Every structure is written in C-alpha cells, then in structure tokens.
C-alpha cells in the first residue's frame, strides 16, 4: 500500500485559481428551494459573533428578519442606525464560518463588512472592556491559507486604516490600534502559546480576523475587524462584561463611525 505524504493535500491549493463552488450559486439554489425573493442585503453588514447585539435589538423591537437572506446556516436581522440600514448576522463564530458568511454577504449585495468579536487580552491596553481595531492578525487558523499564500500575518487594508484615523475619537469606549492572534482552538491557549503571541506583539486573541482579512485581500472587498476585549480568559473571574446592554450601543456607535468613513469606499473595492 502506497503511503501518501502527509502534506500532499497542500499541493492542491492555488490561491489564484477561481473556485468551482461559489457563494452566488449556493444562494441562488437556496432561494429556489426556499422560495425566497431575490432581495439585496444592506450595503453595510455586521458580524456579531456573540449574538448580543441582535438579542438586544430584537428584545427592543428594533430589528427585523431580512426576508430574502438565503444562507442555509444563519439568520440576518436588519436595523436602522446612523441613517442607514445595517444587516447583522449573529453567532458567526470562527474563521471558516465567518468567511462562509462573508462570501454569501458579498454575493447578496453587502459592500462593507464589519466584524466586532469578543476577545481575550494578551498584552493589555487598558482595563476591559475596550476595542482594538485589528491592523494585523496572526494566522493561527486554517481558512486564510486557501485565500492567500502562507505568511505569518493577515493585514487590514492600509487605505482603510488611513481613512479610519481619528474616526473613533468621540466614542465612549477606547479604540486602540493593535494586533490579534486568530485561533481555531480557543481552549488550547496554553501558557507557551500566549507567551509566543505576546512576544510577537499581539494584544488580543480572537477567532475570525486573520481569515476575514485574507478573504478581503484576495477578493478586494473592504472588511474591518475589531476585537472587543472583554476578558482575561476567565482566569481571574468577573470576565466577559461588556457594559450596559451587553455593549450594544457602543458597538453600534463604533460600526456607525466605521461606515461613515468607509461606505463611500465600497463601490471602488468591488470586482
């Protein structure tokens, strides 16, 4: 019996080749099967991995289901905030799922994607909670390698970073520029891994940014990832507190600040 080299499957990766399976075709078939209308999603969309924003808005009667969102694996809720409709997909946790949703959002009309995910502190920038605008993410996950060749970091588009300079100065919660570590295995954050991340200049650990930034660079679509640092990995207690309404109002204020600066950029970033 011939033994296959354990890394042979990597040779099948070609990050420049088009995919046979596309989000647009999947959404087409989902609409057909579910008899859904072909309605675009809002231009600006938010990934809400914890689901707290959607839960709060639904309880207040401030969000409605999008009638045409055809993703098999998620729901979309729409709220009106800052003079625009905002589409929100809750509970998109982890790199593979976040990018799956991002691809389907782009195929459905989203032109600016923002992710605000809970994160643990690696190198503290203050007392939690605070936001970190992720300017680069350490690629300790498996999805980004299918979009970009292997490198240590995935990065925020420099033009987006430039446009967001001073955008958060008036917010109630601090927003720091920093680095994250994107992991697929949150319960394997060992002491050695944490020390290594800190030595690399990492400020927070989360589960989506590296893959979302790789997707963004490969597809030339505007994506902004923000880590909401709320915990020290539960080692001291009193962790995961986001403030009033589970941080919903502050997250929406941050999203509005991003969209106000970047929404005009979106059409130039499309294929």
Per-residue model confidence (pLDDT) at position 1: 47
Q: Tell me: domain 95-269, CATH 3.40.50.300, correct?
A: no
pLDDT tens per residue across all 271 residues of the chain? 445 545 555 556 889 999 999 999 999 999 999 999 999 999 999 999 999 999 999 999 999 999 999 999 999 999 999 999 999 999 999 999 999 999 999 999 999 999 999 999 999 999 999 999 999 999 999 999 999 999 999 999 999 999 999 999 999 999 999 999 999 999 999 999 999 999 999 999 999 999 999 999 999 999 999 999 987 776 666 666 777 767 899 999 999 999 999 986 544 443 3
Per-residue model confidence (pLDDT) at position 240: 67
Taking the CA atoms of residue 188, residue 192, residue 196 and residue 198 in that order, the dihedral angle to the nearest 10 degrees is 90
Per-residue model confidence (pLDDT) at position 265: 58
Domain residue spans of the chain: 95-269
Per-residue model confidence (pLDDT) at position 11: 56
């Amino acid at each position: 019996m011939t033994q296959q080299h354990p890394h042979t499957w990597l040779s099948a990766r070609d990050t420049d080749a088009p995919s046979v399976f596309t989000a647009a075709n999947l959404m087409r078939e989902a609409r057909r099967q579910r008899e859904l209308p072909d309605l675009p999603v809002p231009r600006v969309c938010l990934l809400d991995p914890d689901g707290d924003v959607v839960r709060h808005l639904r309880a207040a009667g401030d969000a409605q289901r999008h009638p045409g969102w055809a993703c098999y694996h998620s729901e979309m809720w729409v709220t009106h905030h800052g003079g625009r409709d905002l589409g929100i997909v809750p509970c998109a946790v982890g790199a593979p799922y976040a990018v799956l949703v991002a691809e389907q959002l782009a195929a459905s009309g989203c032109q600016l994607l923002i992710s605000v995910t809970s994160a643990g502190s690696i190198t503290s920038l203050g007392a939690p909670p605070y936001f970190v605008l992720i300017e680069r993410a350490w690629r300790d996950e498996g999805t980004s390698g299918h979009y970009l060749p292997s490198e240590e970091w995935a990065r925020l588009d420099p033009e987006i970073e430039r446009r967001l300079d001073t955008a958060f100065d008036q917010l109630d919660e601090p927003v720091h520029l920093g680095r994250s570590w994107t992991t697929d295995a949150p319960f394997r954050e060992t002491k050695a891994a944490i020390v290594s991340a800190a030595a690399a200049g990492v400020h927070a650990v989360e589960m989506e940014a590296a893959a979302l930034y790789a997707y963004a660079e490969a597809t030339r679509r505007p994506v902004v990832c923000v880590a909401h640092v709320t915990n020290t990995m539960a080692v001291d207690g009193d962790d995961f507190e986001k403030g009033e309404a589970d941080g919903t109002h502050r997250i929406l204020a941050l999203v509005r600040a991003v969209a106000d600066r970047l929404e005009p950029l979106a059409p130039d970033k499309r294929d």
